[in-house]
Amino acid sequence: MRVRVNGEYLDTNVDSIWKLRDECGYPSENTVVIKNGYQTSEDVELTEGDIVSFIKKGVMPDEKQLAELMRARHTPGVYDAVKDARVVIAGLGGLGSNIAIMLARMGVGHLHLIDFDTVDASNLNRQQYYIRHLGMYKTDAMKELLGEINPFIEVATDCVKITEENVLSLVENADVVCEAFDNPAAKAMLTEAVLTRTDKVLVAGSGMAGIDSSNTIKTKKVMNRFYMCGDGVTGAGDGIGLMAPRVTVCAAHEANMIIRIICGMENV
């Protein structure tokens, strides 16, 4: 029978996944076995057309093997849709830093990160940075982190403040623009520019402060090409802080909506 193993087609006479693992030379005690997207620890039957990944524990696979692994682990068709997508993330704070990492883990092939700020200690309660990043530009720190997650995606950075003068040039190559600012004026400027001066899809966030119920955070289609994530109400203020759990829930809504748009599922 013919099966696909780590991205290559293979003709084999064996009838089980463990026999195939042994035939391919992978050690039984140190190999993750994935068959048709599901990790298995049992010796299941092998059938014509199965897609199999063998990954040695503790070893980084090469680009082709990683792509095949992600293709196997994702919902069918998702990886192939996202690997060529281009997403701009405007702002790398509590929302943007989390969104960038989620999209990198999904295998989004081209990420354009924009921020002008540096990492400081007040960011560590909710943003995806570490002590070693203190004082670094957020664009440099996040590019470093994404390289440790998936070194095969393209990460472009602009360490600049987005203004009415440069916004169009910064987003011109994007399929989706992700708004992740913490400044209301900057949010309004970017939203107006993207929706009235481009044909890009915009995903934004509003209302994720405090420790109110996570269930109040929603994704809403505001209008054509514009999606808003959050509760739309709860902003940071006196006695209401920004903390990792609720900020991350909102970031996950934005990241998931971006993936849905890329996969053509925004109206499903």
Mean pLDDT of 143-156: 97
Q: What is the mean pLDDT of the chain?
A: 94
In this model, does residue 78 exceed pLDDT 80? yes
Give the tens place of pLDDT for each residue, 25-71. 999 889 999 998 888 999 999 999 998 999 899 989 889 888 888 88
3-state per-residue secondary structure call for the chain: CEEEECCEEEECCCCEHHHHHHHCCCCHHHEEEEECCEECCCCCECCCCCEEEEEECCCCCCHHHHHHHHHHHCCCCHHHHHCCCEEEEECCCHHHHHHHHHHHHHCCCEEEEECCCECCHHHCCCCCCCHHHCCCEHHHHHHHHHHHHCCCCEEEEECCCCCCCCHHHHHCCCCEEEECCCCHHHHHHHHHHHHHHCCCEEEEECCCCCCCCHHHCEEEEEECCEEEEECCCCCCECCECCCHHHHHHHHHHHHHHHHHHHCCCCCC
Residue 47's pLDDT is what?
94
In this model, does residue 235 exceed pLDDT 90? no
What's the pTM value of the predicted model, to 2 decimals? 0.91
Residue 238's pLDDT is what?
81
Between 226 and 64, the more confident residue is 226
Domains and CATH numbers, the chain: 2-63 (3.10.20.30), 79-262 (3.40.50.720)
